Amino acid sequence: MYICRETLVIMGGSGCGKSTLLRHIIGSMKPTSGSVKIFGEEITVMNEQEISNVRRRFGMLFQSGALLASLTVGENVALPLLEHTENTLDEIEEIVREKLQMVGLTGFENLKPAEISG
């Protein structure tokens, strides 16, 4: 599978291997055979620093993933950008607007997760 600059959703029934696949992709599990290449590099031979750099380029939400209830939707989206990029606040605000628009949540940025749940 080759995906470049795309958003990918992995869906399937319980126990079909979604989480296992993602764990292999981010290097938290090693395959017993075969290979896993990310950005053209074999992840199974990477050291922890290299794997950490790969993980920074992924956004994943597992079933137990949750938004921080004390933050607004916009703040939740902005949090990893604030922590892991050098973007300015203006740039982050623009990215947040774009990402919320992509998923149909324009206008929800100032609401808490509980206010849109359901």
* Cβ neighbours, 10 Å, residue 107: 10
Domain residues of the chain, as ranges?
A: 1-64, 73-116
The pLDDT tens digits for 32-42 are 999 888 888 89
- The predicted model scores a pTM of 0.52
pLDDT tens digits, 85-100 = 899 999 999 999 999 9
CA 61, CA 67: separation in Å to the nearest integer? 10
Distances (CA, A) of 101 to 14, 55, 56, 106, 109: 30, 24, 22, 5, 10
